[in-house]
C-alpha cells in the first residue's frame, strides 16, 4: 500500500483546527494543517470576545487567534495555505487534492471547515452586497460613520455586532422577525440600554432597494402584513450560519438536513479515521470554547485510532 505522507491532516484553521493542531504537535504526530486563507475563521472578524476563559478583561477575536496560532506554532505545527479542490475519505489512505493539482495523503483527517454567514435570499441582497449589504460588522462598520443603518437577526452575532456598530453609526435599527431575542441576556441588556439602538419587532425585510451609489431603503413587512419603508444606507445581515461544506465529499459523510457533519461524542464521523470539530459539526451550541474543546477531543481520537505507532518524528530533547 502507498505510504501516507502524514499521520493526520487537519482541514481548516479556526479555533477547532488550531487546537487539534496544538494537541497533534504536542503528541508528535506527523501533522499538516491546511487552511485556505489566514488562520482564525469567523473569530478573526469577531470584534470582541468576552466569554473565553482566562481572558477576564475580554480579548479581540484577532488577538485570540494570534495567540492560538502562536501556541500551535510554538510546538512546531506544520501549516499549508492552499485551497482544497476535493477530498476522498474512504479507505486507509485519505487523499486531499489541492487546486494546484498537488495531492496530500494521511491516515486520519479532522474536518474543521467551520461555517459562513447565512443569507436572507431576498431581492436586492446580492445586487447591493458590498454596496450597503454586509455580513461582517468588524470589517465594514467603519464605513458607516454617522449613518443610519440596520442589523437583521436576534442572535448573539446580531446583538453583539449591533453594539459594536454603535461606535460608528448614528443609529442602529435591529430588525427581528420575532418579539424576543435569542441572544444571551447580558448582550440583550447592553443593547436595550444603548440609546443608539432601536428595535423593530415581528418584522421581516421584503426587499433591499437603492441606486447606483448603494442601499437607500428597506421594504419591511410587519406582523399582520402591513408594509413600511426604513431609510438606511447599510444593512448587516447577521441571521446565523450555513455549513462550510462545499469541499467535503457529502456522498461519503453522514450529514444533517442543514449540511453539518454528524459525529459521535468522540468527534468520529461515519468514516473510520475521519473526525469533525467546531462549527462544521452538527450540534446546538457554537461557541469558541466548544470548537477548541472539540478540536482537542478529535485529535485525541485520531491518536487513539492511529494506535501506538512508532513516532514518525525524531526524538526532541529541547523541551
Ligand atoms: P443564531 O443564534 O442561529 O441566530 C440567528 C438569528 O437570526 C435568530 O434570531 C433568527 O431568528 C434570525 N434569523 C434566522 N433566519 C432568518 C431569516 N431568514 N430572516 C430573519 N431572521 C432570521 O446565529 P448567530 O447569532 O449567528 O450565532 C451562531 C452561533 O454562534 C450561535 O451558536 C451563537 O451562540 C454563537 N455565537 C456566540 C457568541 C458569543 O457567545 N458571544 C457570539 C456570536 C455567535 P429566530 O430567533 O426567530 O430563529
| Average of per-residue pLDDT across 223-248 | 97
- CB contact at 8 A, 296 and 310: no
User: What whole-number distance in Å separates Cα of residue 312 and Cα of residue 118?
Assistant: 42
* Residue 120, ligand 1, Cβ within 6 A: yes
CA of 312 to the centre of ligand 1 (A): 43
- Based on the residue annotation, tell me whether 161 is a catalytic residue of this protein: no
- Give the E-state strand segments of 131-233 in sequence order: 133-134, 148-152, 171-175, 197-200, 203-211, 214-222, 227-231
Helices marked H in the chain: 15-26, 61-74, 137-140, 156-165, 185-193, 288-306
Residue pair 25/69 in contact by the 8 Å Cβ criterion: no
Whole-number Å distance, alpha carbon 183 to ligand 1 midpoint, is: 7
Q: Ligand 1: which of 114, 120, 123, 156 to mutate, most ligand atoms within 8 Å of CB?
A: 156
The percentage of residues in the chain with a pLDDT greater than 70, rounded to a whole number, is 96
pLDDT for the residue 56: 97
Q: What is the model's pLDDT at position 314?
A: 66
Residue 313 confidence class, pLDDT cut points 50, 70, 90: low
Q: How many angstroms from the chain centroid is the CA of residue 151? A: 19
The C-alpha cell that represents 288 in the structure block: 469558541
- Mean local confidence (pLDDT), 225-249: 97
Domain formed by 3-116+241-307, architecture: 3-Layer(bba) Sandwich (3.50)
308 has a pLDDT exceeding 60: no
Give the closest residue (by CA) to ligand 1 atom 26. 240
> What b-and-e string marks burial along 260-283, b requiring 16 or more CB atoms within 10 Å of the CB?
bbebeeebbbebebbbbbbbbbbb
Q: What is the pLDDT of residues 156-211, one digit of tens each?
A: 999 999 999 999 999 999 999 999 999 999 999 999 999 999 999 999 999 999 99
Residue 3 has pLDDT above 80, yes or no: no
Q: Which residue shows C-alpha cell 432601536? A: 198
- How far is the CA of 237 from the CAs of 24, 131, 137, 230, 307, in angstroms? 37, 13, 9, 15, 46
pLDDT of residue 47: 85
Look up 136 and say whether it is catalytic: yes
220 strand-pairing partners: 205, 228
Listed in order, the ranges of the chain carrying CATH 3.50.50.60 are 3-116+241-307, 119-237
Per-residue model confidence (pLDDT) at position 101: 94
* C-alpha to C-alpha distance for 278 and 267, rounded to whole angstroms: 10
For range 206-228, the mean pLDDT: 97
Residue 312 above 60 pLDDT? no
Which position has the higher pLDDT, 34 or 317? 34
Distance CA 77, CA 259 (A): 29
Q: What is the largest CA-CA distance in the chain?
A: 72
Q: Are 159 and 174 in contact (CB under 8 A)?
A: yes
Strand 6-11 to 31-35 pairing:
parallel
Cβ–Cβ under 8 Å, residues 250 and 276: no
Entry pTM: 0.88
**What phi, psi does 295 have (nearest 5°)?**
-60, -40
Domain covering 119-237, topology:
FAD/NAD(P)-binding domain (3.50.50)
Which of 50, 63, 99, 139 is flagged as catalytic?
A: 139
Report d(CA 246, CA 259) in Å as an integer. Answer: 10
Q: What per-residue confidence (pLDDT) applies to 82?
A: 97
* Residue whose CA lies nearest to ligand 1 atom number 35: 286
The single-letter DSSP state of residue 131 is: T
Residue 10 pairs in a beta bridge with 33, 110
Average pLDDT of the chain, as a whole number:
95
Task: Note the pLDDT tens digit of each residue in 267-281.
Answer: 999 999 999 999 999
**pLDDT given for residue 139 in this prediction:** 87
CA–CA separation, 39 vs 23, rounded Å?
Answer: 16
Residue bearing the bigger pLDDT, 6 or 317: 6
Query: Which residues have CB under 8 Å from 314's CB, separation 6+?
Result: none
Q: How confident is the model at residue 309 (pLDDT cuts 50, 70, 90)?
A: low
Amino acid at each position: 500500500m502507498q505510504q501516507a505522507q502524514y499521520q493526520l491532516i487537519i482541514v481548516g484553521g479556526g479555533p477547532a483546527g488550531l487546537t487539534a493542531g496544538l494537541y497533534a504537535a504536542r503528541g508528535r504526530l506527523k501533522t499538516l494543517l491546511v487552511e485556505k486563507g489566514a488562520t482564525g475563521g469567523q473569530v478573526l472578524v469577531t470584534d470582541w470576545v468576552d466569554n473565553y476563559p482566562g481572558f477576564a478583561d475580554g480579548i479581540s477575536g484577532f488577538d485570540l487567534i494570534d495567540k492560538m496560532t502562536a501556541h500551535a506554532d510554538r510546538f512546531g505545527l506544520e501549516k499549508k495555505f492552499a485551497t482544497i479542490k476535493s477530498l476522498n475519505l474512504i479507505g486507509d489512505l485519505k487523499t486531499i487534492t489541492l487546486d494546484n493539482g498537488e495531492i496530500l495523503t494521511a491516515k486520519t483527517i479532522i474536518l474543521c471547515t467551520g461555517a459562513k454567514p447565512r443569507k436572507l435570499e431576498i431581492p436586492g441582497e446580492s445586487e447591493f452586497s458590498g454596496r450597503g449589504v454586509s455580513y461582517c460588522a468588524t470589517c465594514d462598520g467603519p464605513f458607516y460613520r454617522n449613518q443610519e443603518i440596520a442589523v437583521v437577526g436576534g442572535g448573539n452575532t446580531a446583538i453583539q455586532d449591533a453594539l459594536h456598530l454603535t461606535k460608528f453609526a448614528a443609529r442602529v435599527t435591529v430588525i427581528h422577525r420575532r418579539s424576543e431575542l435569542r441572544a444571551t441576556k447580558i448582550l440583550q441588556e447592553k443593547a436595550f440600554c444603548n440609546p443608539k439602538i432601536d428595535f423593530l419587532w415581528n418584522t421581516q425585510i421584503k426587499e433591499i432597494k437603492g441606486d447606483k451609489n448603494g442601499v437607500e431603503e428597506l421594504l419591511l413587512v410587519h406582523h399582520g402584513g402591513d408594509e413600511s419603508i426604513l431609510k438606511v444606507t447599510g444593512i448587516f445581515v447577521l441571521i446565523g450560519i450555513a455549513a462550510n461544506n462545499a469541499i467535503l465529499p457529502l456522498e461519503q459523510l453522514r450529514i444533517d438536513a442543514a449540511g453539518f457533519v454528524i459525529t459521535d461524542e468522540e468527534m468520529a464521523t461515519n468514516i473510520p479515521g475521519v473526525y469533525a470539530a467546531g462549527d462544521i459539526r452538527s450540534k446546538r451550541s457554537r461557541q469558541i470554547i466548544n470548537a477548541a474543546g472539540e478540536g482537542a477531543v478529535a485529535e485525541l481520537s485520531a491518536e487513539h485510532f492511529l494506535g501506538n505507532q512508532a513516532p514518525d518524528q525524531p526524538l526532541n530533547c529541547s523541551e
